[in-house]
Amino acid sequence: MKNRLEALRKEKGIRQEDLAQALDVSRQTIISLEKGKYNPSLALAFKLARYFALPIEEIFDDSDERA
Amino acid sequence: MKCKAMQKAWLRGMLAVGVVLLLAGLIWAFGFGAADGLPMRLAGFLSGLGGAFTAIGGGCLLLNWLRGERRTKESALHMEDERGLMVAYKAQSVAAIAAVLAIVAMLIAALVRGDSFYMALGSAACILVALVKIIAWYAYDKMM
């Protein structure tokens, strides 16, 4: 699944370590999420949505999965 | 922190059990031996199992100590976050398959050699693996 995580993080000017710490996950998880290698759990997706104050649909794009 | 403390307790427990089994096996082998009619293979099995537990428990504790507090915390976080857990579960399933294959290999070797002790041990291990899987399925089915 594609996502805008890297762009959103850079817009906010935060490092991967800081985002990882804020979400209680490892930096490796953030790297995998940004690369689109790993799809987060619903709980982590909600945490990300709350962190960036955006709806989940604006962070994750599931158009590939729907096609 | 709670999880880390539990992990430490588990490792210490494993180390303690390992040392006890290792010593019991060695005392059995060198103290009594085959003279008293005690099967030496059981002594070898006990010391082997004890040695493995001692190596795993002691090795992990030593590694944590050598890594230092910061890297141990990082490693603990990696094991607690959802991706780390998923990776660990996948690794465990592969390890379980490897364990079953090892038992099957042991059974085949025992069958070829006609060794009834190892055949019985292998069969018991197979039954144990099957039981653990059934219990795990039941427990996960209830939990998830």
User: Exposed/middle/buried for A26, CB within 10 Å: 0-12, 13-18, 19+?
Assistant: buried
Length of chain A: 67
Distance from CA of B144 to the nearest CA of A (A): 14
Same domain, B19 and B74: yes
A61 forms beta bridges with A2
Same domain, B69 and B100: no
- Average pLDDT of every residue of chain B: 78
Same domain, B57 and B92: no
ipTM reported for the complex, 2 dp: 0.78
Return the pLDDT at B2: 42
**Structure confidence by residue, pLDDT tens digits, B4-36:** 555 788 889 999 999 999 898 888 888 776 666
Distance CA A48, CA A54 (A): 8
Same domain, B57 and B4: yes
Rg (CA), chain B: 19
Residue B44 tokens read as: 């070898």
Phi-psi region of A2 (alpha: psi -120 to 50; beta: other; left: phi over 0): beta
Task: From B62, B80, B98, give the residue that closes a domain.
Answer: B80
Q: Are strands A60-61 and A2-3 parallel, antiparallel or unpaired?
A: antiparallel
Same domain, B47 and B105: no
- Structural domains counted in chain B: 2
Same domain, B74 and B102: no
Same domain, B130 and B64: no
- pLDDT band at residue A40, thresholds of 50, 70 and 90? very high
pTM: 0.56
Residues B44 and B10 sit within 8 Å (Cβ to Cβ): no
* Surface of B (47-76) touching A: CB under 8 A: 74
Same domain, B71 and B5: yes
Return the pLDDT at B15: 92
Return the pLDDT at B99: 81
Domain that holds residue B106: 82-144
CB contact under 8 A, A25 and B74: no
Q: Class of the A2-51 domain?
A: mainly alpha
Return the pLDDT at B6: 57
Task: Please list every residue in chain B whose beta carbon sits closer than 8 Å to the beta carbon of residue A29.
Answer: 81-84
Residue B115 one-letter amino acid: D
Q: Does residue A33 carry a pLDDT above 90?
A: yes
Task: Please list every residue in chain A whose beta carbon sits closer than 8 Å to the beta carbon of residue B84.
Answer: 26, 28-29
Task: From B80, B97, B112, give the residue that closes a domain.
Answer: B80
Same domain, B38 and B101: no
Domain positions in chain A are: 2-51
**Structure confidence by residue, pLDDT tens digits, A7-31:** 999 999 999 999 998 998 988 899 9
CB contact under 8 A, B77 and A38: no
Residue whose token pair is 């989940």:
A56
Residue A63 tokens read as: 């158009």
Distance CA B47, CA B25 (A): 4
User: Exposed/middle/buried for B131, CB within 10 Å: 0-12, 13-18, 19+?
Assistant: exposed
- pLDDT band at residue B3, thresholds of 50, 70 and 90? very low
Length of chain B: 144
Task: From B80, B99, B130, give the residue that closes a domain.
Answer: B80
User: Exposed/middle/buried for B75, CB within 10 Å: 0-12, 13-18, 19+?
Assistant: middle
CA torsion, points B40, B46, B47, B48, in degrees to nearest 10?
100
Q: Does residue B117 carry a pLDDT above 60?
A: yes
